[in-house]
Structure 1
Amino acid sequence: MRKAAVLTLFFIFFIASSVHALNWAYPFVVWDGKIYEVMLEEKVEEWDIGKFIGKVKVEADDMTGEYYGDASNFFKKGTKYFEIKGIPTSTAIAVEHDGHWVKAVYMEKAPFHPMNILTNKLFIALIVIGMIGAGVYYMKKRK
């Protein structure tokens, strides 16, 4: 009887914990390892838009909360980021939204994720160079 009760409780908790989705506190974008809170009501005028600096490449996972690289929990892949003239990017950036731009304010450094390293162009270049070097070394050694 006791085993049945424990087993029943286990299944209740297992089933209850397997269905969930995150409710994000605020819309954000990640650029250059920094999280920016997007102020959807704070528009940036066209004449204040500086140069293009990046875009959303990854959408945050609503089930696990995981994200890496240039990501967002609100905007779709391809959404563009711009500098705001007269404001350093360490303070704020502009994000393209519904035909205009909105301000995104720096909040904090983005958490580490292994994919940040694995998708880094420098890391990939070093791996390729290392593989070529190892191939050349073994080819010379064979002779």
Structure 2
Amino acid sequence: MKKGLLLFLICFTVATSTSYALSWAYKFVVWEGGVYEVTEEFMAASDIGEKIGEVKRMADDRTGAYYGDASNYYEKGTRYYAIKGIDSGTAIAVEEQQDMWVKAVYLHEAPFHWTDILPYILMGIAAFFLFIVLSLRYASKKEPRDQ
């Protein structure tokens, strides 16, 4: 009886420990803190402005987590472009293939991630150390030296 129960628990644990990937509702890209849903509307080359960014990381298929310039569909290096006559806060163009762009429309703000403030933390630490070094240099020049 105990062996049967133990065998059942082992089989149950092994059978339920499978990993699943998320099924995304739509393709999206993240640019400058905004999530843009990629539409099926193709853009003409004459409507494409300058390059404004690119995909730098993929969204996690298991947890759904993403940060920075990310995408759940497009590979790293996929470029974003401004659309002439449209504010980039409203819509951007995503390079689907060489010389083919699709429109991506702004949906909402991307979730906060601690790496969003990392540059400010590093600048603060650098400023603190610079202040200490300059203070020590200034203090050493002000002290009279015994001769």
Q: TM-score, normalised by structure 1?
A: 0.79
Distance of 2:64 and 2:21 partners within structure 1 = 9
Shift of 1:128: 1.8
Identity, in percent, stands at: 46
Structure with bigger gyration radius: 2
Q: Which moved more, 1:17-26 or 1:55-64?
A: 17-26
Deviations 1:63-111 (A, max 9, x none): 1111111111111111111110111112110011112111001111111
Q: Which amino acid aligns with 1:56?
A: V
The CA RMSD measured in Å over matched residues stands at: 2.7
**3-state SS of the aligned residue for 1:94?**
strand
Per the TM alignment, residue 17 of structure 1 is displaced from its structure 2 partner at its CA by 5.1
After TM superposition, what 4+ stretches of structure 1 lie above 3 angstroms from structure 2? Answer: 11-15, 134-143
| Residue 131, structure 1, aligned to residue 133, structure 2 | no
Q: Partner amino acid for 2:124?
A: L
CA deviation profile, 1:33-70 (whole Å, cap 9, x unmatched): 1000011x211111001121111112111111111111
TM-score between both structures, scaled by the size of structure 2: 0.77
One-letter code aligned to 2:48: I
Shift of 1:13: 6.2
Q: Distance in 2 between matches of 1:14 and 1:106?
A: 42
- Gaps of at least 5 residues in structure 2 are none
User: How many positions carry a matched residue from both structures?
Assistant: 136
Counterpart CA distance in 1 for 2:28 and 2:78 is: 12
The aligned counterpart of 1:83 is: 82
SS at match of 1:115: helix
* 1:49 paired residue number: 48
Q: Secondary structure at the match of 1:23?
A: coil
State the shift of 1:134 in Å: 3.2
Output the CA distance in 1 between the equivalents of 2:23 and 2:132: 48
Q: Report the CA distance shift for 1:139/1:16 in structure 2 as closer, same or farther (over 3 A).
A: farther
Alpha-carbon deviation of 1:133? 2.1
Residue equivalent to 2:91: 92
Task: Provide structure 1 residue ranges, at least 5 long, that are not aligned to the other structure.
Answer: none
Supply the distance in 2 between the matched residues of 1:56 and 1:69 (Cα, whole angstroms).
9
Q: Quote the offset at 1:131 in angstroms.
A: 2.6
Q: Secondary structure at the match of 1:67?
A: coil
Aligned residue number for residue 64 of structure 2 = 65
Q: Post-superposition shift, 1:137?
A: 4.1
Q: How far apart are the structure 1 equivalents of 2:15 and 2:134?
A: 55
